[in-house]
């Protein structure tokens, strides 16, 4: 998932408008919503300082906003967190076997 999609996901999760979020990270009120729309659509890519500010506003790690590297423990954990956020990913048991469960009401059709 691209960083813009993650920004939109966390903004919606926190119940924020684009304008409110943009103002929280320091954009002028007049252009805050436009700037956030550009980042969410992928027409602009946030630099490290903006990514840090966004993570602080959302109360999350910057790794939760960036596309994680699954070759590292942190990257793998954030990938699993993303699957949990988007698809209701859960580890469960079925007939004494561990299994992965996905919430049918979340994410795309699968």
Q: Which pLDDT tens digit goes with each residue over 4-15?
A: 989 999 999 999
99 contacts: CB under 8 Å, gap ≥ 6? 91, 92, 93
- Domain annotation covers residue 97: no
Has residue 9 been placed in a domain?
yes
Structural domain includes residue 27:
yes
Distances (CA, A) of 68 to 11, 25, 74, 99: 19, 23, 8, 23
Residue 47 counted as domain residue? yes
Is 36 inside a domain boundary?
yes
CA 43 – CA 10 distance, rounded (Å):
18
* CATH number of the domain where residue 48 is located: 1.10.260.40
The number of distinct structural domains making up the chain is 1
| Domain with 56 in it | 3-64
Q: Could you read off the pLDDT of 50-86 as tens digits, one per residue?
A: 999 999 999 999 988 886 666 678 878 888 888 888 8
> 15-40: per-residue pLDDT in tens?
999 999 999 999 999 999 999 999 99
Query: Whole-prediction pTM value?
Result: 0.67
Is 71 part of a structural domain of the chain?
Answer: no
């Amino acid at each position: 998932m691209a960083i813009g999609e993650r920004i939109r996901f966390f903004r919606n999760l926190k119940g924020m408008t684009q304008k409110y979020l943009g103002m929280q990270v320091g954009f002028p009120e007049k252009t805050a919503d436009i700037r956030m729309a550009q980042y969410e659509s992928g027409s602009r890519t946030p630099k490290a300082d903006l990514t840090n500010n966004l993570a602080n506003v959302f109360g999350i790690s910057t790794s939760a906003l960036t596309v994680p590297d699954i070759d590292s423990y942190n990257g793998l954990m954030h990938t699993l967190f993303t699957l949990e956020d988007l698809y209701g990913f859960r580890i469960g048991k079925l007939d004494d076997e561990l299994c992965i469960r996905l919430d049918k009401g979340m994410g795309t059709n699968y």
